Amino acid sequence: MPGLGVARPVETRSFATRRPADVGSVRGCMTPVATPTQLRHHAPRPALPAAHGPVQAPPKRPVDLSALHGLRIVLTLWLVVHHTTRWLLRDTGIDPDTVTLLRQGPGATTGFFILSGVVLTWRWSERLAANPTIPQAADFLRRRWAAIWPLGAIAALIAVPYELVEDRLAPGEFVVGLVANMALVQSWLPVGGGIHGMSLRFNGPTWTLSTLLALYAAFPAIVWAIEARVRTKGGVVALAVVPWLLVVGTAVAMRGEANGVWLMHVSPVTRIADFLAGVAIGTWLVRYGAPARRGAIAGQLVGLVLIAFAVWSAVPWHLGREVRFGALFIPPFALLIACLTVRGGPVGGILGTRAAQVAGKRAFAIAMLHTPLLGLGWHAGLVRLDRPAGTALVLGSSVGMAMLVHRYVEMPARSRLRVSSRRR
């Protein structure tokens, strides 16, 4: 693989490869035939043991990403519970931050960004490294843009009725916000008011698509830099650890600042740390294969425990949102996701099932479309603590709409992209 180096075979030259005349030649003697003593003395040396020959790299352990696709639906359901709880508790006097287990949904976005880094690196890194050109990078970005833009655009349009009912934007802000969301740039700048800027207007969850688009644009350069500079296992680990440490420091420094939550929660500038953790995992898988099975199975359980601890710790430790969003969940999610690349295990066995994978393919549409419908349901009096049937109706409608969008928007767009790519 480029940049890793290949051991050159040791060149040996045995006595048997010399010319026949050399065998019988003794200094001062031109006898063309060797004597038995000479033959015993100059007999061909036995072949060197394999240990002294070319060093063969150990075979890579097979990589299985099926559980990662199943993880998507779990992260999506976590976000749905988070947003539903937020609407159920609105105007009840109950602080949502006290409902610890249900309220820490933003941690799930860390899982999404790490997953994106892993899958992109696994599928694209060797292709980009083999052809480090601007046209290849443009082709990659065009494919990724076409994969997420239709969903982001239709999600913004679906949210228009909700924004009109919510009536929180002036006419100029309304137009700018809609355009920004349609273009998937809403998370790039801290404008629009509130602690999150414009990123949570016109369908809040779509800020993840906006941030992903910026990370996609940087991905080819990241791959080329890794191929040129990161040549050791320690370098791959540092690729994940160093950005995380920088984000931890930034999160502490930005606590309480006006744009701190925007910077740590939605901005591509800091969310690249989550993404690079996934890129580091993907690079390890490409170069060295999956982790050892026994350690990976144990790592799945440890990762779950650490994620649960991160969820619990936010409230009693009085951690600011900047820290929670910007640093807390990266290590446990990175551990869990890296260990899910081995088939089986207590977590991977469930997430790797056919049902989980099918649901995972539709998870992004569910994540992007449920929030504005929950808002409309709240304004209609359906999403209430004392109206479980109404809440279930709204959630069911959002899932049904997500299935339609997935079937008639996402998939056709990707099919057209594949056709146009083959034509080129």
The gap from C-alpha 394 to its chain's centroid, in whole angstroms, comes to 30
User: Which pLDDT band, with edges at 50, 70 and 90, does 157 fall under?
Assistant: very high
Q: Check the CA dihedral 197-202-203-209 and report its sign.
A: negative
pLDDT of residue 210 exceeding 90, the answer is: yes
Q: How far apart (Å, rounded) are the C-alpha atoms in residues 31 and 22?
A: 10
Among candidate residues 295, 396, 275, the one with its CA nearest the CA of residue 341: 295
Specify the range with the lowest mean pLDDT, choosing from 53-67, 147-161, 250-264, 286-300. Answer: 53-67
pLDDT single digits (tens) 322-337: 777 768 899 999 999 9
CA torsion sign, 413 to 416 to 421 to 424?
negative
Secondary structure percentages of the chain, helix, strand, coil, to 5? 70, 0, 30
Region 298-303 average pLDDT? 95
What type of residue is 379? H
CB burial of 150-167 (b: ≥16 within 10 Å; e: otherwise) equals bbbbbbbebbeebbeeee
Q: What is the mean pLDDT of residues 356-381?
A: 93
How many Å apart are CA 63 and CA 61, to the nearest integer? 6
pLDDT band with cut points at 50, 70 and 90 for residue 413? confident
Supply 199's token pair: 């990123």
CA angle, corner 226, sides to 222 and 232, nearest 5?
A: 155
Position with higher pLDDT, 421 vs 179: 179
The percent of residues in the chain predicted with pLDDT above 70, rounded, is 80
- Tens of pLDDT along 263-293? 888 999 999 999 999 999 999 999 999 999 9
Residues 6+ apart with CB under 8 A from 59: 289
The Cα 67–Cα 304 span in angstroms is: 14
| 3-state SS class at 280 | helix
Query: ∠ CA(316), CA(321), CA(323), 5° rounding?
Result: 85
Residue 102 has a CB neighbour count (10 Å cut-off) of: 17
pLDDT at 5 over 50: no
| Neighbouring-strand partners of residue 61 | 289
Question: Higher pLDDT residue, 98 or 73?
Answer: 73
Q: How far apart are alpha carbons 47 and 369 in whole angstroms?
A: 68
Q: Does the pLDDT at position 301 exceed 90?
A: yes
pLDDT at 423: 52
